[in-house]
């Protein structure tokens, strides 16, 4: 097993974040610092992260957090900013599934299941995510069609979204968008290139999991039914 996958199965971080953590010199194998995330390791090796011996977790935990604004979605932050890990118990070892940018609120999943984390995070699986965007005015049919087809959002990338619904409220509208990609700040960049002012953005659904009855900053474990829905998604 690669070292980055081992860290992921221990609930340290996603494989991508594990790459970064390993390269910072946080991990030793049999007493020697290792900087290569691809190093092959086994359960017979003594692997330590931040000086503590780690082992793969043999039980599955998936949490739902209603992420507040101005909080970073990462396990550790080198600039001492607030992270989502402050909102779950320190003795619970889970990592975020994907990312929500600092200014976006709403549904964030955290898990200790490395395989589930990899499946939900990998772009090739095109897991649908739904967001509520509060914008100035209302989107026109032409703008809706542009987002469905895909628009250039800078840095050689194209953004694409399906508009599920929009509801006008005085001079603003609440628009529900469905995405299957997850590029960095994709919705914000799409609205910027459409010339539409975005006031607030909240994620309300991730795959089959919908956020409801949970206050900002609070978390809960997924129900058995919700876990079953995730398992069915992985088997499709």
Catalytic residue positions, numbered? 101
Nearest-CA neighbor of 179 among 153, 151, 148?
148
CA distance 116 to 164: 27
Distance from C-alpha of 202 to C-alpha of 57, rounded to nearest angstrom: 31
Is residue 109 left, alpha or beta, with left meaning phi > 0 and alpha meaning psi from -120 to 50? beta
Rg (CA), the chain: 19
For residue 70, give the H/E element and its range.
none
């Amino acid at each position: 097993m690669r070292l980055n996958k081992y860290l992921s199965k221990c609930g340290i971080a996603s494989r991508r974040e594990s790459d970064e953590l390993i390269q910072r010199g946080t991990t030793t194998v049999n007493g020697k610092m290792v900087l290569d995330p691809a190093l092959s390791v086994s359960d017979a090796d003594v692997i330590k992260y931040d000086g503590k011996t780690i082992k793969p977790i043999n039980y599955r935990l998936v949490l739902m957090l209603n992420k507040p604004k101005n909080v970073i979605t990462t396990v550790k932050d080198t600039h001492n900013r607030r992270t989502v890990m402050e909102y779950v118990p320190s003795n619970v070892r889970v990592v975020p599934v994907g990312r929500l940018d600092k200014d976006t609120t709403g549904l964030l999943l955290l898990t200790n299941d490395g395989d589930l984390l990899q499946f939900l995070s990998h772009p090739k699986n095109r897991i649908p995510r739904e967001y509520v965007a509060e914008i100035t005015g209302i989107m026109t049919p032409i703008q809706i069609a542009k987002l469905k087809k895909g628009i250039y959002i800078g840095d050689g990338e194209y953004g694409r979204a399906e508009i599920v619904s929009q509801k006008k409220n005085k001079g603003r509208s609440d628009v529900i968008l469905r995405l299957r990609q997850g590029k960095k700040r994709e919705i914000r960049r799409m609205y910027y290139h459409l010339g539409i002012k975005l006031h607030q953005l909240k994620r309300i659904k991730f795959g089959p999991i919908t956020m409801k009855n949970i206050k900002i900053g609070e978390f809960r474990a997924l129900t058995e039914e919700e876990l079953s829905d995730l398992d069915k998604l992985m088997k499709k």
